[in-house]
Chains A and B, each alone.
Chain A
Amino acid sequence: MQATLRLPKESDLRSLRGIVGDDFDADRPRTVRFLYLDTFDWRIASSGGRLTEETTDGARALRFIDGSGEPPHVVPLAVSVRFARELPESVLRARLESLIEIRALLSVGECRVERQSGRLRSPAGDTAVFLQLETSTILDSSGRATGEPISRIEVLGLPGFEATFGALVQRLRALAATSDDTTNLMELAVAARGRRIGDYSSKLNLELDSTQTADSALRSILRTLLGTLRANIDGVIADHDPEFLHDFRVATRRTRAALAQLKGVLPADGLEVFRPEFRWLGSLTNPCRDLDVYLLEMDGFRVLVGDSAAALAPLQAVIETERQVALGEVRAGLRSRRFQSLLGGWQAFLDDPPPGREPPPNASRPVRELASQKIRKAYRRMRRRGLGLGESPPLEDLHRLRIDGKKLRYLLEFFRSLYEETEIEPLVEQLKLLQDILGEINDVRVQQRRLLEFAHRRELAGRVETLLAMGRLAGALQQRQDRLRVDLASVFPGFAGPEGRSRYNSLFGGGE
């Protein structure tokens, strides 16, 4: 039983005493500073939950409400936390770890709240109803108050005290100027920071229209990707978590894939200048991402080598130092004039492409026709390569297969909104499974190679325990790779076999 009512401006519990009753037991009023926390991609809000860091009288606590009606979980904190893993072992940590994974918690909004809370007791002295009156002032990013303070009272009735709860809510509703309240304070606080809940997702959510021309569809795809690029710049530079760089790179790669695979849609001569620039963006961020992946794998590596886990610390230190350098290069790149003019030029090109000598051949084709043709082609290429692989193909060949798969996957993701969801989603899922295996095989390959490089480092010279642990790690990686090959062999036939083939053919046409 719960009700939230908006109150006249200057309300406080004392003035409500007549309504609430004398057997009301009030806590002393408190001022609470409220930081709304979420990941950049709103994983907490989109799960229906809410996480706040609350500071009152100098004491800091994290409060999580999961939206299911469970009471909040409150964890006192000595310092702010940025990652779920920094929390003490608890139900909350487990929940957050599965929800936000490796993403950082960012402060997405701020409020100052005057809070008065208390409870109504039954004649027998049991707790019947909780009350909380809050007057909230929303603060902008420089900590200044914005808008009028909002006063509301929240009433929570406990099981068995329905009558007490009902009567109290009725008396409150009868007050002048109260109304049921649905204000979402978090929304307001987020808006005061210039954002909107759900305004970013790492998923590509495109709504294309089958009657669109290829030209307009491709430009809207590329504009969305440019939006993703821009959205992640600050986070990459601030280095909140590795996902910013990851999303930035995915958007870069998707852009490059779109340009490479959908030729003849945009004017070719205008486009030429951008291709090398996006390639540069890829290579600018490669080293940092590789090292990120390595660091993310480190926990798993420690498990793999068991007893020698501690011996990996010097390796970790080498990687961290190197990553810092690589990140410095990324930052410099993103602040460079070259990058700025890429962003500006690309935006201008997409908004208003220069007229070419003659209209590109595919520009005015219906987008679905072009999409189906490209998907067909990409599927066939990947299928043929996969079927042509022998018993235990060299890693180089698997790498090529993965690249084919990537191209196909990007096409499916760009154009999924043009097809019946129930038909295309299983194909996306199937390919994702396949790509996860291929991607992991590739990660292992890269890690093995890097491991060998690291082993030659001067910093690790003479560190026998570390080098031995790295040797064990190399062995474990090899075993993982062998297992992945087995997985691949079991998944690939579903994709390339007669059933997979007929699914692609029926959805994208062309049964030859």
Chain B
Amino acid sequence: MRTLAIWSIKGGVGKTAAAVNIAHAASLGGTRTLLWDLDPQGAASFYLRVPAQLEGGARIVVDHTTDLGWHARPTEFDNLSLLPADFSFRRLDLELDATKKPRKQIARRLEPLTPRFDLVIMDCPPSVSLVSEAVVRAADAVLVPVIPSTLSIRTLEQIRAFVAEHGHGRTELLPFLSMVDRRKAMHLELCESCLADASFLRTVIPSASVVERMGLTRAPVAATQPSQPVAMAFAALWHEIASKLRGSQ
């Protein structure tokens, strides 16, 4: 089982859009995927038409007497299950803090899922917190959406430092360009300088109205508009990530 965290210090950069569409792309290929919605706002749960409620709430993350997998719910898509968010996740930091080894909690909770899932994707809230430390610790790779702006690129350096500090040593940092508008000269310019950095994934996710409309369709783009370029871009992004994950095995 491989674990992928989608995280950034910034909100609104396309984390959840990436989490849902990448999870869907993976599941289409036969990868048994669990998407874990760790954001109390529950956007990923909403997109997959699952109520953002969890019996037991945030406690289940630290309660080792239960199996996290019990809370996984099937979605409308083969191979794709969802661990829904819950509003109580806003207190997840406190729950973690009350344990002996807060930063190891999530990794330990994921371990028993190995015989059931090939891939766990964690969609994270944009905070710097104990939760993000525990998530980064549990991840084989951290996927970071970067909007082409000077500020975003500066934040990436902070993220890099954070992952270096809290990762498990072999944690890969995988930044990718998100919401790129090719009509904007500055976007193109900044894209070019980002892609000069070899750590960036090669696939670029364009800004596309079908992604925005996911709030209405409540489905991954490829499920409703498979031939849209952005749907293919998410699929390509997944393939690139998959080969990185295989390489790091």
Is the CB–CB distance between A91 and B76 below 8 Å? no
Q: Is the CB of B75 within 8 A of A127?
A: yes
Q: Let me know if B58 is at the binding interface, CB within 8 A.
A: no
Within 87-144 of A, Cβ neighbours of B (below 8 Å) are at 88-92, 94-95, 119, 121-122, 124-127, 130
Interface residues of A in 126-165 (CB under 8 A from B): 126-127, 130, 158-160
How far in angstroms is the closest Cβ of chain B from A428? 30
**Chain B neighbourhood of A119, CB < 8 A:** 76
Query: Is the C-beta of B79 less than 8 angstroms from some C-beta in chain A?
Result: yes
The answer, yes or no, to whether B29 is at the interface (CB within 8 Å) is yes
Given the contacts A76-B30, A127-B50, A91 and B78 also touching, CB distance less than 8 Å? no
Residues of A within 8 A of B1 (CB): 91
| Interfacial residues of chain B within 43-94, with CB under 8 A of chain A in the complex | 49-51, 53, 73-76, 78-79, 81
A72 to B78: give the CA distance in the assembly, Å. Answer: 7
Interchain CB contact under 8 A, A126 and B49: yes
A91 and B218 form a contact (CB under 8 A)? no
Q: Is A71 an interface residue (CB 8 A)?
A: yes
- What distance in Å separates the Cβ of A139 from its nearest Cβ neighbour in chain B? 25
Chain B residues near A158 (CB-CB < 8 A)? 73-74
A284 to B73 Cα, complex, angstroms = 56
B181 CB-CB contact with A under 8 Å = no
Chain B window 172-215, contacts with chain A (Cβ cutoff 8 Å), 1 for yes, 0 for no: 00000000000000000000000000000000000000000000
Would you call B30 and A125 a contact (CB within 8 A)? no
Q: Is A299 an interface residue (CB 8 A)?
A: no
Chain A residues with Cβ below 8 Å from B41 are none
Is the C-beta of A365 less than 8 angstroms from some C-beta in chain B?
A: no
**Any A CB within 8 A of the CB of B36:** no
The docked-state distance in angstroms from the alpha carbon of A95 to that of B30 is 14
With an 8 A cutoff between CB atoms, is A26 at the interface?
no
B118 near A90: Cβ-Cβ < 8 Å = yes
Instruction: Across the interface, name the chain A residue whose C-beta is closest to B52.
Output: A126
- Asked if A70 CB lies within 8 Å of chain B CBs, one says yes
How far, in angstroms, from A126 to B75 measured CA to CA in the complex? 10
Chain B: which residue is nearest A158 at the CB level? B73
Q: For chain B, residues 15 to 37, give those with C-beta under 8 angstroms from any C-beta of chain A.
A: 28-32
Docked complex: B85-144 residues within 8 A CB-CB of A: 115-118
Minimum C-beta distance from A124 to chain B (A): 7
Q: Is the CB of B74 within 8 A of A71?
A: yes
Complex contacts, B118 vs chain A, CB 8 Å: 89-91
Q: How many residues on chain B are close to A (CB under 8 Å)?
A: 22
Are B53 and A92 in contact (CB-based, < 8 A)?
A: no
In the bound complex, what is the Cα–Cα distance between A119 and B30 (angstroms)?
Answer: 22
A92 to B30 Cα, complex, angstroms: 9
Closest to A91 in B: B32
Q: Are B74 and A124 in contact (CB under 8 A)?
A: no
Other-chain residue from A88, A90, A92, A159 in contact with B73 (beta carbon distance below 8 A): A159
Q: In the docked arrangement, what's the CA distance between A164 and B78, Å?
A: 22
Name the residue in A89, A124, A159 with the highest tally of chain B Cβ atoms < 10 Å from its Cβ. A159
CA distance A88 to B117 in the complex (A): 14
Tell whether, in the assembled complex, residue A73 and residue B79 are in contact, meaning their CB atoms are under 8 Å apart: yes
Q: Which one of B29, B30, B75, B116 lies within 8 Å of A70 (CB-CB)?
A: B116
A127–B46 CA distance with the chains assembled, in angstroms:
10
Question: What is the distance, in angstroms, from B14's C-beta to the closest C-beta of chain A?
Answer: 23
Given A88, A94, A130, which contacts B30 in the complex, CB threshold below 8 Å? Answer: A88
Q: Report the minimum CB–CB distance from B237 to chain A (whole Å).
A: 19
Q: How far apart sit A34 and B31, CA to CA, in the bound complex (Å)?
A: 22
With A76-B28, A88-B30, A90-B31 in contact, is A121–B49 under 8 Å at CB?
Answer: yes
Instruction: Decide yes or no whether A334 CB sits under 8 A from chain B.
Output: no
CB distance from B3 to the nearest CB of A (A): 14
Q: Chain B residue with minimal CB distance to A159?
A: B73
In the complex the two chains form, is A126's CB within 8 Å of B50's CB? Answer: yes
Q: Report if A75 contacts B (CB, 8 A).
A: yes
User: B51 touching A126 by the CB < 8 A rule?
Assistant: yes
Nearest Cβ distance between residue B82 and chain A, in whole angstroms? Answer: 10
Q: Decide: A90 near B49, CB < 8 A? Known: A71-B74, A74-B78, A127-B76.
A: no
Q: What residues of B have a CB within 8 angstroms of the CB of A125 in the complex?
A: 49, 218
Q: How far is the CB of A427 from chain B (nearest CB, A)?
A: 34
> Which residues of chain A are within 8 angstroms of B78 by Cβ–Cβ distance?
71-74
Q: Does the CB pair A76–B29 fall under 8 Å? A: yes
Chain A residues positioned under 8 Å from B53 (CB to CB): 160
Q: Which of A76, A126, A130 has the largest number of chain B CB atoms within 10 A?
A: A126
| CB within 8 Å for A71 and B51 given contacts A76-B28, A76-B30, A119-B76 | no
Min C-beta distance of A357 to chain B, whole Å: 64
Considering the complex, which residues of chain A in the window 423-447 have a beta carbon less than 8 Å from any beta carbon of chain B?
none
Residue A160 contacts which of B29, B32, B51, B76 (CB distance < 8 angstroms)? B51
Bound together, the chains give a CA A119 to CA B31 distance in angstroms of 23
Task: List 24 interface pairs A-B (beta carbons < 8 Å), by A numbering.
Answer: A70-B116, A71-B74, A71-B78, A73-B30, A73-B32, A74-B78, A74-B79, A76-B29, A76-B30, A89-B118, A90-B118, A91-B116, A92-B30, A92-B32, A94-B115, A95-B115, A119-B76, A126-B50, A126-B51, A127-B50, A158-B74, A159-B73, A160-B51, A160-B53
Besides A73-B79, A89-B118, 4 more A-B contacts (Cβ < 8 Å) are: A71-B79, A74-B30, A91-B118, A127-B76
Which B residues are closer than 8 A to A by beta carbons? 1, 28-32, 49-51, 53, 73-76, 78-79, 81, 115-118, 218
Q: Which 5 A-B pairs have the closest CB atoms?
A: A75-B30, A74-B78, A71-B74, A127-B49, A91-B32
